[in-house]
Structure 1
Amino acid sequence: MTRRVMMVTGGTRGIGAATARLAAQRGYDLVLTYRSAAARAEETAAACEAAGAKVVLMQGDAGDESDILAAFTRCDEVFGRIDALVNNAGITGPRKRLADATFDDWSSVFMPNVIGLAVHCREAVRRMSTAFGGKGGAIVNVSSRASEIGGGGEWLHYGASKGAVDTLTVGLAREVGAEGIRVNAVNPGLIDTEIHAAAGMPDRVAKMSSGVPMGRGGTAEEVAEAILFLASDAASYVNGALLPVGGGR
């Protein structure tokens, strides 16, 4: 039986790595993109290969159109198809209040989180859509509970970018739903990954867990389960959904 093909952006660390590993176990071959940390990328790829997946690693910037196009071209060359796209790559930007944020703070976050994500969606649609001769597929965007909570006092620019992701998800779902493509998003809450340390707050999950109704932070694997559900045939009538994975927060 032919394995399906999934592209995971930012697919070698945190939620992306957990998604890649779970996808490999569930029968997907993979295109994994990453910006840095080559050793971690190789480690994730090796784990996926050990689970039976064929893996293509592509280094590049999720906010750079030429790098995005190169990843899709490589996918075409190696697999000749794409069945699922998981838009996971993104950054929080520096922790700042709006009054202190610069133009570059905003543009550096919106480029990968929104514009690059939209370009990834465009390229996936061009390959999946029945209107373009494709056989359909699924797109899962990794948004954030910050899209509703807002990120005020920490990452307002990040929260705003994820609000744009939510809007794009719903709009694109309605645009291509009749063309065999389902578009959904997961909205992770307080998840215990290295993104907090990268933003200068390594103890953020521990400090904020008391504000989660379930009393703890989530894991990357718990988010990955939601992503794989939305990408799977089990979610065949789920389109335009924004699925909170935040323990009730």
Structure 2
Amino acid sequence: MPNNKVVLITGGSRGIGAQTAKLFAEHGYAVCINYRQDVNAARDVKQYIHDLGGNCILVQGDIAKEEDVVRLFRETKQKLGPISVLVNNAAILHQQGKITELSAARIEKTFNVNVTGSFLCCIEAVKHMAYSYQGDGGVIINVSSMAALSGSPNEYIDYAASNTNPH
């Protein structure tokens, strides 16, 4: 039977996303972990949640691809029930370097995931949660980085520019 508290976490297989998934599970949420490529890390988080007695599914997908985002939300709702929380956590971080070392391809890839992907997830979340779309309401949490404040000079310039200011 679907849990009435469902969280979908993008980039939920490692780091902040994995810890967020575990915390939501500890508070009784059914969890959907979205991951792009590291299925073993995603399985480890799922196992932790199952060991707690929680409900967890894994959905592979690239949030920079609209069709993957639509499928991610559809599968979560079908398998766990209506989504009540989206944690927009997925981001791409390339090797650090100076601005003169950046390429258009790298910048485009970073912004496609970190900005466009986050917007695509917000759009789908609203379509699933908003009262105006016959949803039950919900919460969107957009995870950012302190790099957005400093700009990370000579380090992760494109990453810093693609993160929302957390204040």
TM-score band w.r.t. shorter chain? over 0.9
Map 1:185-204 → 2, pairs under 5 A:
187=166
Please tell me the root mean square deviation across aligned C-alpha atoms, in Å: 1.5
Q: Which of structure 1's runs of 4+ aligned residues deviate more than 3 A?
A: none
Distance 1:69 1:132 in 2: 15
TM-score by length of 2: 0.93
Distance 2:95 2:75 in 1: 33
Assess if the C-alpha contact under 8 Å between 1:92 and 1:109 holds in 2. Answer: yes
Map 1:11-26 → 2, pairs under 5 A:
11-26=12-27
Does 1 or 2 have the higher relative contact order (CA < 8 Å, sep 6+)?
2
Distance 1:135 1:108 in 2: 34
Distance 1:43 1:106 in 2: 31
Give aligned pairs, total.
166
Distance 1:62 1:53 in 2: 25
Which one has a bigger Cα radius of gyration? 1
Shift of the alpha carbon at 1:12? 1.1
> Which secondary structure state, in structure 1, belongs to the residue aligned with residue 139 of structure 2?
strand
Assess if the C-alpha contact under 8 Å between 1:8 and 1:85 holds in 2. Answer: yes
Distance 1:120 1:152 in 2: 29
Assess if the C-alpha contact under 8 Å between 2:4 and 2:81 holds in 1. Answer: no
Assess if the C-alpha contact under 8 Å between 2:63 and 2:120 holds in 1. Answer: no
Distance 1:27 1:86 in 2: 16
TM-score by length of 1: 0.64
- Give 1:184's aligned residue: none
Whether 1:101 and 2:102 are equivalent positions in the alignment is: yes
Letter of the aligned partner of 2:103 in structure 1?
A: T
Shift of the alpha carbon at 1:77? 1.1
Distance 2:85 2:103 in 1: 35
Distance 1:146 1:74 in 2: 33
Please, which runs of 5 or more residues in structure 2 have no aligned partner?
A: none
Per-residue deviation, residues 194-244 of structure 1 (Å, max 9, x unmatched): xxxxxxxxxxxxxxxxxxxxxxxxxxxxxxxxxxxxxxxxxxxxxxxx3xx
